[in-house]
Structures are given as C-alpha cells and as structure tokens.
A and B are shown apart, each in its own frame.
Chain A
Amino acid sequence: MEVLARTEADMQVVSVQDSRIDAAVALAFKDAMRNTTDGGPQTVVLDLQKVDFIDSSGLGAIVATMKHLAPDRKLVLAGLSPTVDKVFKLTRMDTVFRVFTSLDDALSDVRA
C-alpha cells in the first residue's frame, strides 16, 4: 500500500496511490496511515482521487485511522469516486467525516 504525503502549514495531504482499499490491503493501509501521519499537523486530508473501489474492510480501516488521530487531530476526505461515495452514503459514514468531492475543495475549506 503506497501513500504519498506532503505537509503544508497546518495540514498534511496524504494521497493513496493504489486503486483499491479492500480486505486484501486494509491492514497495510492502516499501518501506512499511522506511519505517515505520525507526529504531523492537526488536519489530515485523505486524498482518494486514485481510489475507485473500497469495501467494508477499507471503510473500517479509514474509520480506524480517524480514531487513531482523534481526539486532537482530524481526518478529512477528498476526491471520492462514485463507488467510494456510495459506500460512505450507504453506511451513513458521510455524516461522520467531512467529505469533499475534489481535493481543491477540501484544501480551500481547510485553509479558510
């Protein structure tokens, strides 16, 4: 599971490079996120633009990442494809996370 991270001011943008966050890689994703966000800024923007599929294990791994960052740090989601968005809506997790359609929207909101 490859993620690319860049930090600017008070936020870190973590871009997932794989096209799937599913049961096969859910653990690796959690580990990668823990390692990458360790000691970073308060807001983490998870850039999912390259991800076209997540299953319930992938969703669970994203929730676990949010809980790992809480209570002091926040996880914001950006760039959800239609299928990924569907999983968040079905499970009502779209009410738990701040979800932005595009990375630009997320960045300008966090910066504001």
Chain B
Amino acid sequence: MLAPFDVSVISSEHAVRDALRDVIHGLGPLGLDIEEVGTVELVLAEALNNIVEHAYPPDAQGGPIHVTCRHRQKGLFFTIRDRGKAMPDGQIPLGMVQDVNVDVMDMPEGGFGWFMIRDLAKDVAYQRQGCENELQLRLAIAVRRAPP
C-alpha cells in the first residue's frame, strides 16, 4: 500500500497544475500506467478547476485547497477541502451527459466537468462542514485483492 500523502495549494489560475503535479508525483511508487494517471489527473483537474472558478471566484481572494490521498484495498480515496463558497443548494451538480447531437452553433462548450467526474470516479460525496467544502471520491485504480 502506498503511504498516505497530502497536497496543499493556495487557489489561483496555476494552482491546479501545481496540485496535479504533486499528486501524480505522490502516486509515483504505485507505477500506474499512462491511462490510470490520465484518469487521476482528469478527475482531480475537474474538481480543482471547479474550486478555483466557483468556490473562490476571481473577484474574491484565493484560499487554501487541501487534497488528501489514501490508498486502500478498493483503490485511491481522495478528499478535497476548500474554504470557499458552498455548492449551490448544498449539492454537487448532476453532471448529465451533454447532448452533442445538435447543430454546430449549439454545440456545448462547457458542462462536461461534473459529468466526467461522475463517470470516472465512484462514491462521489459532498458535504459542507462549517465554512469548509469537502468532496470525497474514489478511483478504482491500484485496487488490491483481499488475500485468500
């Protein structure tokens, strides 16, 4: 099992890249393949972009973003915390698949983020704890079979 590790950044345009680089570095000992690394990077990028763009909007001062990674039998468990604005209605968006069978000029340019998170991650859960947002999710990567 990989040793637990945490990554902390202060919200900014480039904070997401820094956090992703540190998380992927932290996962190094697992020797994940390129596809698995891509999944981790994509899911975390979408979750972190959402915090930088919505929880800490550009007109507000950036705040802390804290990512914890725990490797357990069922895969990689991530918890992402921030001290920004709560999710609208206290819930994460449904993240429905976007209809792309439309006229070119009506093609969606956004709204893919939560869909990709929900599609790639398992057990996605959000809660507001005091003045903190906490998003938990699991990636079925580096899953360990229970010993017989």
With known contacts A56-B113, A82-B35, A23–B100 Cβ distance under 8 A: no
Chain B binding surface, main DSSP class: helix
- Which residues of the partner chain A approach B39 to less than 8 Å between Cβ atoms? 86
Distance of B103 from chain A, by nearest CB (Å):
9
Contact status B116-A87, CB under 8 Å:
yes
Distance in Å: Cβ of B100 to nearest Cβ of chain A: 5
**Taking the complex as formed, is B79 at the interface, i.e. its CB lies under 8 A from any CB of chain A?**
no
A6-14, A40-48, A65-73 - interface stretch: A65-73
Within 8 A of A (CB), among B64-120: 97-98, 100-101, 104-105, 107-113, 115-116, 119-120
- When distances are taken between beta carbons in the complex, the residues of chain B under 8 Å from A20 are 17
Q: A87-B116, A93-B100 are in contact. Are A55 and B34 (CB under 8 A)?
A: no
> Which 8 A/B pairs are nearest by Cβ-Cβ distance?
A83-B38, A56-B112, A60-B109, A56-B113, A55-B45, A70-B104, A23-B49, A92-B100
